[in-house]
A and B are shown apart, each in its own frame.
Chain A
């Protein structure tokens, strides 16, 4: 089983709708969770981090964490064509000094 799993997509969402990206992880001692956005040919950039159960909001982005279900998600409200990118979920395991990434979900926002 992969440590961090994401649906590779592509996920197509109409402009203005809510895009929902999901990620599951296998290691129960995972400590904190990150969402990165990567445009084609560019480097990953950090969008949000979360380490407590529940929701965390930042502008149009909401990260949701459920440690019991080992599940983390990212919601993008009022999706814009500029949100079209690959979204990478990453997990930091307690005691390990590394981020483990999922394979990414390619998101396309259709005008």
Chain B
């Protein structure tokens, strides 16, 4: 069984469109994240939710709106897509409270290409 699953795996869309990426985890984790990985492999946090509550919003344009209907799901909606939004978006989750040595479990990623 996949621990953190994201859909879709690939997304190709035109500038100006609106799109959503979905994420689900079956690990019983309380905290979920969205990370963006650019073409140089740099992974940068965008949002973090703890038990459906937004706890981190890292100066992301407000065209990006996360939603967590329950603690097992975290979706990302992007309005008015721009060329610079092209990247791989990773969902991740971690144990309650994070823990000292508790790392994150990542989903398989969504490769977004804006043309």
- A interface residue numbers (CB < 8 A to B): 8, 31-32, 34, 36, 38, 42-46, 49-51, 86, 88, 90, 92, 97-101, 103-104, 106
Contacts and interface: CB of A to CB of B under 8 A. Distances in A.
Given A98-B56, A100-B45, A101-B43, 4 more contacts: A32-B100, A46-B105, A88-B43, A104-B43
Nearest to A94: B100
Chain A interface, >50% SS class:
strand
Contact of A45 (B40, B42, B56, B106): B106
A26 to B, nearest CB: 16
B61 to A, nearest CB: 19
Interface of B: 31, 33, 40-45, 48, 50, 55-56, 58, 90, 98, 100-109
A92 B48 CA distance: 14
Listed from nearest, the 10 A-B pairs whose CB atoms lie closest are: A49-B101, A46-B103, A43-B106, A101-B43, A104-B41, A34-B103, A103-B42, A98-B45, A44-B106, A32-B100
Contacts of B31: 97
B109 A43 contact: yes
Contacts of A106: 41
A90 B90 CA distance: 15
B4 to A, nearest CB: 8
Contacts of A90: 103
A78 to B, nearest CB: 24
